[in-house]
Amino acid sequence: MSRYVIKIGSSSLTSDEGGLNRDKIGFFASELAKLHQMEHQPLLVTSGAVAAGFTKIGYKKRPKQLHEKQAAAAVGQALLMQAYQEAFQEHGIGVAQILLTRSDFSDRLRVHNALMTIDELLRRRIIPIINENDTVSVNELKFSENDTLSALVANLVKANQLLILTDIEGLYTEDPRKNAEARKIEKVESITDELLSLAGGAGSNVGTGGMRSKIEAARIATRGGIPVFIGKVTESGDLEKAADGTGRGTYFETSLSTLSMKKQWVRFHSLPQGSIVVDSGAEDALLSGGKSLLPAGVVEVTGDFNPGDVVEVLNIHGQAIGRGAINYAAWQLQAVAGLSTDEVQKRVDVVRIEVIHRDEWISIG
C-alpha cells in the first residue's frame, strides 16, 4: 500500500471563463478512485475555490483584490467540495475537507493535529481533500496554485510520491506550445538554478501557478525525501501510470530519506528568530560529522531568541548551512560563545550543553 499526494490546479477543474467543470472533476475522481480501489491511500490537494466562486458572486473575471478573492473563495469552496463529494460518491468513496494555512504548519502542535486527522481519515478509507483556507489567508493566496502546499503535505504525511498534475507533459527545454523543437526532460536527479530558469510564468487565466512554482515545490518535496511527478493526466489510467513510473511527464528523483516531523518543522515550517555564525570546525562537525553544535564553535550571535526557537546557522563566509532548535537564550549564548564546555557550565544554567543538538538540526543545501 502506497500513499500518494495528488495536486490538481484550477485550470484542470474549471472552464476558461471560471466556474467548475463537473466532467473534469468526475474524471479526476474516477482516477483517484482507481488508486483507492487498489488499496493505496490517495490524498488530494486541490485549487479551484476562487475560480469556482468568482462567477457565482458576480465578477466577470478572476478578481485581483484580496477581499474579492476571499469572498469568491468563501462561495467557491462550498461548491468545490459539493462537486467532489458527488463525484466520489459515485465510486462509493467518502471525502473530507481539510483547510490549511501556512501558519498551521509553523505551529508544531497544529501541524501534528493535522497529521493525526489525516492519518485517521486514511485509516477509515476516506480521501482527504486539502485546500488553503483562502478566506482567512493573506500571503497564502500567492502560493502559486497550492504547489507549495502540496509539497508540504507530501512531506507531512511521508508520501511515497507527490503527483503534480498540469496541462503540459512535464518539463521541457523550451515552451512546447511555442517551439515544436522543445525537448522533454524525462528525469531530474538534481534541481539546479539552470533547471529553474527553464520554467516559465503563470499559465492560464483562471489559475496562478506556472511551471516554476511546480519545480520549486518539487525541490521542497525531494529535499524531504519525497519523489515527484509533474505531468499530464487526461486519459483513463493516466494517474496510475504516473504513479508507477510510466506517466506522461517528468520524474524528479531523490536519494534522501523522509524527515521526522520534528526535522520537517525545523526545515520547512519554522520561522528563524535569529542567526549564529560558526567556525569552520563546527561547520564540518555539523555537515559531515553528524555532531551537535557546542558553544566553542560559535563565533557570532544575532537576534533575540529563547530556548526552543529556531535559528539559522551561517558559516564564517556568511553562507547559510542549516537551521536548528536552540537550547540557549540569545543573551546566554552571547555570554559563552567560543568557550569550552567547562567554562560554559560555570557561567550559565542551561538544560542541555549543546547549542543545537543533532536531533534538532537540519542542513540546507
Three-class SS state of 218: helix
* Between residues 3 and 183, the one the model is more confident about: 3
The three-class DSSP label of residue 3 is strand
Q: Tell me the residue length of the chain.
A: 365
The reported pLDDT for the residue numbered 198 is 78
pLDDT at position 204 over 80: no
In this structure, what C-alpha cell is assigned to residue 132? 488553503
The matching CATH number, chosen from 3.40.50.620, 1.10.10.10, 2.30.130.10, 3.40.50.300, for 270-363 is 2.30.130.10
β-strand pairing of 248-252 with 187-188: parallel
pLDDT of 202 reads 44
Q: Residues of the chain with pLDDT > 90: what percent?
A: 64
Q: Do residues 29 and 80 touch, judged by C-beta distance below 8 A? A: no
Q: What is the pLDDT of residue 138?
A: 63
Which residues neighbour 177 within 8 Å (Cβ) at sequence distance 6 or greater?
A: 168
Average pLDDT taken over every residue of the chain: 90
Q: How far apart are CA 73 and CA 51, in angstroms?
A: 8
Check residue 206 and give its pLDDT: 39
Question: At residue 365, does pLDDT exceed 70?
Answer: no
Instruction: Domain 3-261: state its class.
Output: alpha beta
Report, as an integer, the average pLDDT of 34-44: 97
Choice among 155-169, 176-190, 204-218 with the minimum mean pLDDT: 204-218
pLDDT at 237 over 80: yes
Provide the pLDDT confidence category of residue 305 given band limits of 50, 70 and 90: very high
Position 10 scores a pLDDT of 86
- The residue with greater pLDDT, 215 or 256, is 215
Segment 213-219 shows an average pLDDT of: 92
CB 155 within 8 A of CB 222: no
Of 101-105, 170-174, 195-199, 245-249, the least confident: 195-199
- What is the predicted pLDDT for the residue at 120? 98
Q: What is the mean pLDDT of residues 27-48?
A: 96
- The confidence band for 141, taking pLDDT boundaries of 50, 70 and 90, is very low
242 vs 249: CA distance, rounded Å: 8
Cell of 359: 536531533
Ramachandran assignment for 159, one of left (phi > 0), alpha (psi -120 to 50 degrees), beta (any other): beta
Cell 496562478: give the residue.
Answer: 208
Beta pairing, strands 161-165 & 41-46: unpaired
The predicted model gives 323-327 an average pLDDT of 95
Q: Given the DSSP bridges, would you call strands 310-314 and 171-172 parallel, antiparallel or unpaired?
A: unpaired
Pinpoint the residues of the chain covered by CATH 2.30.130.10. 270-363
Compute the average pLDDT of residues 160-179.
88
Is it the case that residue 145 has pLDDT exceeding 90? no
Rounded to an integer, the average pLDDT of 62-66 is: 85
Confidence of residue 175 (pLDDT cuts 50, 70, 90): confident
**Beta carbons of 298 and 278 less than 8 angstroms apart:** yes
CA dihedral 77, 81, 82, 87 (to 10 degrees): 140
In whole angstroms, what is the distance from residue 364 CA to residue 318 CA?
14
The residue among 133, 130, 137, 136 whose CA lies nearest residue 115 is 130
Where is average pLDDT lowest: 187-191, 280-284, 315-319? 187-191
The DSSP letter of residue 41 is E
pLDDT confidence of residue 209: 45
Q: Chain centroid to CA 34: how far?
A: 25
Q: Which residue has the cell 481533500?
A: 129
Q: Is the pLDDT of residue 135 over 90?
A: no
Q: What is the pLDDT of residues 5-19, one digit of tens each?
A: 999 988 899 887 778
Q: What is the pLDDT of residues 108-122, one digit of tens each?
A: 889 999 999 999 999
Distance of alpha carbon 104 from alpha carbon 231, whole angstroms: 29
The residues of the chain that CATH labels 3.40.1160.10 are 3-261
